[in-house]
Amino acid sequence: AAAMAVEALSRVPDVQIDGDGVFKYVLLRVRGAGALAKDVVRGHGWAEYHADLFERTAEELARHGLSCECLGGGRLSHRPEERKIHVYGYSVGFGKADHAVTTEKLKAEYPDYEITWADEGY
């Protein structure tokens, strides 16, 4: 079971965000069997609430035997033509994500981008 959990976790993308625009995001801790866990970023314009992102991701993960908890949320401003992503804001329901963690995840996914974050703004 542990080996399957490792494989299932490894297949979960660290970052899934929309290619352009300003939208809500959540920072989630995904757990497999045992103590295995990793943090992932999900941000999409279709989400009216941070909970929408959390619930849809939780449903997808459950099909692979994984669970997740929301560590917080915020907003992303993704400007691909400028190669910039700005992380800011918070989630009313889940609180503010650790934007520094989110920024590191985004930098790994978008190494040629300028990625900034701020605690101000909504």
61-118 pLDDT, tens digit each: 999 999 999 999 999 999 999 999 999 999 999 999 999 999 999 999 999 999 999 9
- State the catalytic residues: 50
Task: Report all structural domains of the chain as residue ranges with CATH numbers, in order of start.
Answer: 1-118 (3.50.20.20)
Judged against a pLDDT cut of 70, whether residue 122 lies above it is answered with no
Q: What is the mean pLDDT of the chain?
A: 94
Please give the average per-residue pLDDT across 23-51, as a whole number. 94
pTM of the model: 0.93
Give the helix/strand (H/E) hosting 99: helix 99-109
C-alpha–C-alpha distance, residues 69 and 30, integer Å: 7
Give the helix/strand (H/E) hosting 62: helix 50-62
Identify the pLDDT of residue 54: 98
- Secondary structure E strands in 2-99: 15-17, 21-31, 37-44, 67-79, 84-88
12 close to 65: Cβ distance less than 8 angstroms: no
Q: How much of the chain, in percent, has pLDDT values that exceed 70? A: 95
37 or 120: which leads in pLDDT: 37
| Dihedral sign (CA 32, 16, 111, 75) | negative
Confirm whether residue 107 is marked as ligand binding: no
Kindly state the DSSP code that residue 96 receives in the 8-state scheme.
Answer: B
